[in-house]
Structure 1
Amino acid sequence: MKIKKEVVNYLVFGVLTTLINIVSYGILSKIFNMDFKLATTIAWILSVIFAFITNKIYVFNSKNLNVLLITKEFISFIFFRLLSYIVDIGMMIILVEWMKMDDLVSKILVNVIVVIVNYFASRYFVFKTAE
């Protein structure tokens, strides 16, 4: 039951994180005419900050406020999110530059993969709890 609630919460906050990522990307790339790689990077930073806070508190119930634990979780979270950023930017380059797909459609497709990768990284490495 705990895993089911965790997955549902992850999906809810994952959707919100993805919306932050896609909307901020859309604003930066379409309204401010920013290069898709820079817009992807800024959107990633904004969504990672939101995701860390919501994943820690609401998804994985890591309520411990010990500074050392939070620092360890944050560093681990950033490490795995950097890996997913590499997937994100790499796939965006492949889809937009090489395959000539629309950048916003590409962003949405790439985010599906990134959300799945991020769940498993957060669940099993960042916010792991004794079961």
Structure 2
Amino acid sequence: MKMLKQHREFLVYCLFGFLASVLNIAIFNLAHNNLAMQLWLANTIAWFISNLFSFFVTKYYVFQTEMTDYKKLFHEGGYFLLSRIFSLVIDDLFMIVAVLILPWNNLIIKAIDQIIVGLFNYYSSKWIFDYNNRHLMERFKNLRTKRQKERQV
């Protein structure tokens, strides 16, 4: 029981990450294989929808942060999407190389891709939503502002 409590965030993230990955794969399959969209476009649409879902479930259920105001929501959402844009680049490159250059099955590659990207996303999300990290970021900003003021004097 102690181990479950200790690793609760990661386990809940894995559950919702799995659901977001299933959503991502299903949308990619529909867009690319059924609607004949280009690979990168289908992948990007799947990424956007699954990350929108992921933002809210990660915020509320994994890291259990509240929405105190819209400013905080947009601030966290901005960091969240910025970190996920990097994972989109990894996602798109991996899919293009594996499916278009090495003609492997796109759904198997998409599943492997979701595991790799999911691990990156967990750690970037933890950094964004973790209160202790946010406190450190605020200290860093204050220190930087203080040094800039000292240089002006």
Give the TM-score band, short-chain normalised: over 0.9
Runs of 4+ residues over 3 Å off in structure 1: none
Deviation at 1:3, TM superposition (A): 4.6
- Quote the residue 1:33 is aligned against: 36
Deviation at 1:49, TM superposition (A): 0.4
Percent identical residues:
29
For residues 129 and 110 of structure 1, what CA distance do their matches in structure 2 show?
A: 29
Kindly report the root-mean-square deviation, in angstroms, between the aligned alpha carbons of the 2 structures: 1.4
For residues 64 and 46 of structure 1, what CA distance do their matches in structure 2 show?
A: 21
- Quote the residue 1:10 is aligned against: 13
For residues 30 and 100 of structure 1, what CA distance do their matches in structure 2 show?
A: 14
- Quote the residue 2:131 is aligned against: 129
Deviations 1:28-65 (A, max 9, x none): 11211111111101100100100001000000111132
Q: How many residues align?
A: 130
Normalising to structure 1: TM-score of the pair? 0.93
For residues 61 and 6 of structure 2, what CA distance do their matches in structure 1 show?
A: 13
User: Unpaired segments of 5 or more residues in structure 2?
Assistant: 134-153
Q: Which has the higher contact order (CA 8 A, sep 6+)?
A: 1
3-state DSSP class of the match of 1:34? coil
For residues 3 and 81 of structure 1, what CA distance do their matches in structure 2 show?
A: 26
- Quote the residue 1:94 is aligned against: 97
Q: How do residues 52-63 of structure 1 correspond to structure 2 at under 5 angstroms?
A: 52-63=55-66
Structure 1 pair 130–92 and aligned structure 2 pair: CA distance change class (3 A): same
For residues 68 and 49 of structure 2, what CA distance do their matches in structure 1 show?
A: 22
Deviation at 1:99, TM superposition (A): 1.4
For residues 104 and 57 of structure 1, what CA distance do their matches in structure 2 show?
A: 30
Normalising to structure 2: TM-score of the pair? 0.81
User: Unpaired segments of 5 or more residues in structure 1?
Assistant: none
